Amino acid sequence: MILVRSRRLLLNGSKLLAILLFFCFITSCSKIFGPRPPKEVPPPVEKPVEPEEPEKEEVEKPVEAPVNNIALLLPFQLDRVQGQPSVEDVKRAEIPLDFYQGFKMALDKLAEKGTNFRLTVLDTRDNVNQNQAIGKSLAIQSADLVIGPIFPKEIPAFAAASDLGYTLQVSPLAATLPSQFNVNNLVSLVPSIDQHAAGLAVHLAKVVKGGDQVIVYNTEDEESLKFLGPLKVDLNKQAIGFTEIDDLADVDSLLHAEGKNFFITAAINRYAIMPILTKLMTLKDEGGFTIQLIGHPTWSKLSLDNMNVALKALHTQITTSYYVDADNDKVREFQKNYYSMYKIEPSEFAYKGYDSGYFFGQLLEEYGSEYPDFLLKKNYKGLQTDYIFEKNPNWGYVNEFIRMLQFDGYHYKPIR
């Protein structure tokens, strides 16, 4: 039964109609109920021989599963829409809309099993004052779970204004260091750059052998420092020896003829990456050195098409927390259902919405209001990532799952 209908968002090559329909939906609260048990029919009562009033047989009413209240806070910024949504309006709302659609599909799937949810969607407007107002609202105070806000500046503003008590606040998209928020009931789903560094160090500890060489090339730009700073600390923790250079010419004298040479760079500018690849390919082809290149996590999203041959030849690897396996049956099912409902392919944020919705919806289904007690005990294999949580008393729960990808000439794929 739907008390307030949650409209399906139909997209015909554009999200204009979706935004318009969602404007109508955003202030409503939709109930997603699982299938109800059938009504019991009382057996026929025979008339007694004596003309006495027959005893009435009480019919037990079916017990409904409890309703789990979820508040979803997303920055649609619908207050900026004037009349028919423009292209700019659609662009602003694209990430939250995709996330919402994936999230609701997960709850719908769980509701098919009999779980009841009340989903309240609130527009944070990417505005600190709006987040503070929402944090004090009745919808938040009565929520069993809060998903969002998603932008870093919104998260502490909402947390400071709300009094969630035992209820968890989930940060589903921000890769910011959780220590910057210092919210002890926050659940951070996307690993920070520090966690990427720690994951890489753990991987290297498994594969670096005696006679191998690890070289860290520091271009000393801001992004390199963010990644290489914690990486050097983690390499030392793993007892991995390394040599740091800031001049590419220094690599000539450092490579080992025997063993493997692991060359790590955190450069993200394609014009900085090109000379690195050229240099390493020359050393590989002319010097016969075995080189394993390890790049920045963002390389999977960079346009490096004209460098594919070099990236493959250098067995280039990166860390990631996001990867969708197109051959996975669950992924194919999701893609099929998502396209059938919305007439577009799911984006990264739709996958992330689905995974967070399914994982936390399942926790509520199994444990009700006690679900925070089981967060550390439940690992989850999702469509695009896994959830493996650790807890810090100051900044809450952190997902520590990191995987390694290697370039195959066309795409980055997981190392088996």
Nearest alpha carbon to residue 411 among 270, 304, 296, 335 = 304
12-26: average pLDDT:
50
* 31-54 per-position pLDDT tens digit: 665 554 444 545 555 555 555 555
The fold of the 194-320 domain, in CATH, is Rossmann fold (3.40.50)
Annotated domain spans of the chain: 16-52+62-191+328-399, 194-320
- Judged against a pLDDT cut of 50, whether residue 401 lies above it is answered with yes
For residue 7, what are the contacts with CB-CB under 8 A and spacing of at least 6? Answer: 21, 24, 25
* DSSP SS3 for 195: helix
Distance of CA 3 to the CA centre of its chain: 30
Predicted confidence band at 3 (pLDDT cuts at 50, 70, 90)?
A: very low
Are the C-beta atoms of residues 412 and 318 closer than 8 Å to each other?
yes
Say if residue 4's pLDDT is above 60: no
Which residue reads 């739907």 in tokens? 2
| pLDDT (tens digit per residue) in 54-84 | 555 555 555 566 899 999 999 999 999 988 8
What pTM was estimated for this model as a whole? 0.87
Q: Is the peptide bond before 51 cis (omega within 30 degrees of 0)?
A: no
How far apart, in Å, are the Cα atoms of 333 and each of 59, 107, 189, 280, 341?
Answer: 42, 15, 23, 42, 12
Two domains, one topology: 16-52+62-191+328-399 and 194-320: yes
Average per-residue pLDDT in the chain?
88
| Residue carrying structure tokens 């670096």 | 208
Answer whether residue 16 shows pLDDT above 80.
Answer: no
pLDDT band for position 304 (cuts 50, 70, 90) = confident
With a pLDDT cut of 90, the percent of the chain lying above it is 78
The residue ranking higher by pLDDT, 41 or 154, is: 154
What is the 8-class DSSP label of residue 396?
E
Q: Please give the pLDDT value at position 66.
A: 81
The architecture CATH gives domain 16-52+62-191+328-399: 3-Layer(aba) Sandwich (3.40)
In this predicted model, what pLDDT tens digit does every residue of 190-202 receive, in sequence order?
A: 999 999 999 999 9
Tokens of 295: 């790049």
